[in-house]
């Protein structure tokens, strides 16, 4: 019974450690760049890659989004 209890504790600790690593990855900066009309913007975003990609297409009015992308170093979005 004691072995099962120790095994259960180890499983829970590993799950918590995995969640901490995933949270750290989610807050790593994502590099983004975009062209709005003739103006070039670049910078870092700390949201998820999906959210950074959506936010990256927002240009100050009355400018229009022309091109751009975001990358976390492994994945990217157009």
Buried b (16+ CB within 10 A) or exposed e, 23-44: eeeeeeebebebebeeeeeeee
pTM for the model stands at 0.60
Residues 59-63: what's their mean pLDDT? 94
Mean pLDDT of the chain: 80
Cα torsion 46, 56, 60, 42 to 10°: value is 70
Residues 37-57: what's their mean pLDDT? 95
Report the C-alpha gap between 34 and 44 in whole angstroms. Answer: 12
């Amino acid at each position: 019974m004691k072995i099962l209890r120790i095994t259960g504790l180890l499983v829970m600790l590993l799950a918590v450690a995995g969640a901490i690593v995933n949270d750290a990855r989610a807050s790593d900066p994502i590099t983004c760049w975009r062209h709005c009309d003739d103006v070039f913007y670049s910078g870092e975003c700390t949201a998820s890659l999906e959210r950074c990609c959506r936010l990256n297409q927002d240009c100050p009015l009355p400018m229009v989004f022309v091109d751009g992308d975001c990358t976390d170093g492994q994945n990217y979005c157009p």
